[in-house]
Copies of this chain bind each other. A is one copy, B any other.
Amino acid sequence: MARPQTDIEAGRQELLDIVEGMIAKRGAVDITVNELAAEAGMSPSNLYRFFENKEAILEAAAERWFAPKIAIMEEVVASPLPAREKLYQFFVKRYRLSCEQFEADPRQFQSYMELGAQHFEVVRGYVDFGDHYLAIVVAEAMEQGHFVGLTIDETVSLINQMVHVYCNPEVLVFLAHRMSEDKLAKIIDAIFRGLGEASEDTGEVAPMKLVS
C-alpha cells in the first residue's frame, strides 16, 4: 500500500505549489475545493482524493509555511551550543528566514499573515511547538545556573515577551527598519544577565560577540 500513499503525497505537493501561487495572487482569501480544482485543471471529485475540504487545504499550506521554521528549532535544540548561543540561534535563524521571506515577496508574506490571523487555530499549533522547544533550551540553561528563582514556564513566557518583535511576523512588517541581529543579540545578553535572581557569575560573563 506504499505506492498510492506516495502518489497522493506527490499530488498534494504539486497542488500546494498551485495554492501558494493563488495565495500570492489573490491575497488572504479562502480557497475552496472547487476553485483549486479549476486552477489545477482537475475535477473536484478528483481533488477530494488529495484534500477533504478547504480547511485541509489551508492546514497543508500552513504546515508547509511553518516546516522550515520547525526544522530550524529542531536543529538548534539538538546542537551542542552553550545555552546563551543556543537561545540566540533559536531566535535569530527564524528572524533571518522571516526577513528573507518578506523581502522575496512582501505581498505573499502579508497574505500568509492575514490568513494566519483569520485561522489562528492553525497558527496555535506552531506557537505551541515553539514554546515546547524553548522550554528545552531554558531547562538546559537552568542546569547551567541561569534564571535562578524562576520556573521554566515563567522563563519561557518572559523570554517570549522580550523577543516578541523578532518572532511575530506581523510586527516585523512595520518595525523592520528598527530591528537588527545586533539588537537581538543585546536582548539575549540582557535576558541571560538580567532575568532571575542575580547569580554569582552575573558580573563576569562578557556579552556575546556574535555579530560584527
Contact = CB atoms under 8 A, between A and B. Distances in A.
Contacts of A183: 154, 157-158, 161
A161 B161 CA distance: 9
Interface string A170-212: 0100110011000100110111111101101011111100000
Given A164-B164, A187-B162, A192 B194 contact: yes
Nearest to A183: B158
A200 B202 CA distance: 11
Contacts of A160: 178
A197 B162 CA distance: 19
Contact of A195 (B168, B175, B178, B190): B190
Contact of A203 (B162, B203, B206): B203
Contacts of A187: 158, 161-162
Most buried by B among A158, A160, A164: A164
Given A164-B164, A203-B198, A207-B197, A158 B171 contact: no
A26 to B, nearest CB: 22
Interface of A: 120, 150, 154, 157-158, 160-162, 164-166, 168, 171, 174-175, 178-179, 183, 186-187, 189-195, 197-198, 200, 202-207
